[in-house]
Amino acid sequence: MITVTRRYAFSASHRLHSPLLADEANRELFGKCNNPFGHGHNYQLEVTVRGPVDATTGLAVDRETLDRLVRHAVLEHVESKDLNRDVPAFAGHYIPTTENLSLEIFQMLERSWRSEFKGDLPVLEKVRIEETARNIFEVHAHGQA
Ligand code: NI
């Protein structure tokens, strides 16, 4: 078995605001990320898959298939979007922190995985998002909340 990671990029905006907290508490907790007008990030998304190396091709994953899956299952839903408003999972429910975004993207990939990859392999191993150079988030298979 080997793991293979592909890197993608998308831009989106969000506003961090918890409906469970008062406005003042939101401002204290999230600071300028609570700005009512939101703000944008250039997210780096890494998708890691795990599988055996095929004896004929020497490959563990068909990159075109993975790219198509990531594009249809994730990128088309988040690219240039307002995450609070445009991604159903966050509309009025969850706060689009990159913690929650990472978990949601993992699930978006899992939901579409079998429609692209036939059979049991490769499997989705990890989703990693760099929100900024200093803020990095990972979701591992079997390690989801
Ligand atoms: Ni932010």
Residue-range domain boundaries for the chain: 2-143
Residue 44: strand, helix, or coil: strand
Give the Å distance between the CA of 83 and the centre of ligand 1: 11
Span 78-89, pLDDT tens digits = 999 999 999 988
Distance 56 CA to ligand 1 centre (A): 45
64 pLDDT tier (thresholds 50, 70, 90): very high
Assign 2 a pLDDT band (cuts: 50, 70, 90).
Answer: very high
42 Cα to the center of ligand 1, angstroms? 10
Query: How high is the pLDDT of residue 120?
Result: 85
Residue 88 confidence (pLDDT): 87
Ligand 1 centroid from CA 45, angstroms = 15
Homologous superfamily of domain range 2-143: 6-pyruvoyl tetrahydropterin synthase/QueD (3.30.479.10)
Bridge partners, 4 (sequence order): 49
pLDDT in tens, 120-133: 899 999 999 999 99
Task: Answer with the residue of higher pLDDT: 70 or 118.
Answer: 70
pTM assigned to the model: 0.93
| Per-residue confidence (pLDDT) for residue 144, from 0 to 100 | 58
> In the chain, where do the E strands start and end?
2-14, 39-51, 81-82, 123-132, 135-140
